Structure 1
């Protein structure tokens, strides 16, 4: 079953259960997917849908950080609940150890030796971990292993 179909089915389930919080988040995801579908002018495949979900997840994660910095615990709590719903549609995230292993393999493959090769390493690593790891974590792993 495609990711878009799964989201549609979960929306129906949330409607029947009268779960307003979950339904609201799923509707936001559905709207983002529809906007992307109109933008690319064809039905989204799972990879494209996953990119949209990852973008929505990242936006909520950044909002959560900002709300915490601004001492807005009420908004932070709501955003945390939204993140839990969006997380269900994200692929399993890589652990820090897995990221570091991929970075180490890529560094040896590319032949990077110092921080001047940072861009080359990041360019080779990011396609491997796309959607499975946060770019900030990958960035930190590459910096620590190149320095």
Structure 2
């Protein structure tokens, strides 16, 4: 399974472009992204595909959002601004976010596909939904919606 992810290749090319352009903030963020992907590959001893790369980037987006919230709460807007710039760069690699209607339709489809009828079946539903919406919606919010629907 040594087929490289087209997304990872694009990020690598963008790193070279940022280097040539002397765009240090963008370059730094892209290097962080590649390092996070590489770390997962080393830990799992597997070359990641696009879905797995998206999962890594999705996690980075979540971390940036949490950091921004904490920095703003502590009155450190200077640090929050750095995180915002990183967040914008990372999000530029994620697919177009899903609308509420699309998320609801996917949840409905997954519930009917798995035959889920209670919160005990939530794992099956989330297992089906997650690969379809990775990087396109906040997984915590989707999880809460699924839980509410099955309750």
Shorter-chain TM range is 0.7 to 0.9
**Equivalent position of 2:29 in the other structure:** 25
Shift, 1:59, TM fit: 1.5
Matches within 5 A, 1:66-81: 66-81=70-85
Deviation at 1:73, TM superposition (A): 1.6
Match among 33, 52, 56 for residue 52 of structure 1: 56
Matched, 1:8 2:8: no
Alignment partners' CA distance in 2, 1:110 and 1:131: 22
Structure 2 regions of 5+ residues with no counterpart? none
SS at match of 1:107: helix
C-alpha distance in 1 between matches for 2:121 and 2:42: 39
Pick one of 138, 142, 148 that aligns with 1:138. 142
Q: 1:79 to 1:41 in 2, by over 3 A?
A: same
Please give the alpha-carbon distance, in whole angstroms, between the structure 1 residues aligned to 2:117 and 2:102.
21
The 8 Å contact of residues 14 and 20 in structure 1, kept in 2 or not, is answered as yes
Unaligned stretches of 5+ residues in structure 1: none
* Contact residue 99 and residue 141 of structure 1 kept, 8 A: no
Q: 2:104 aligns with which of 88, 100, 103?
A: 100
Count of residue correspondences? 147
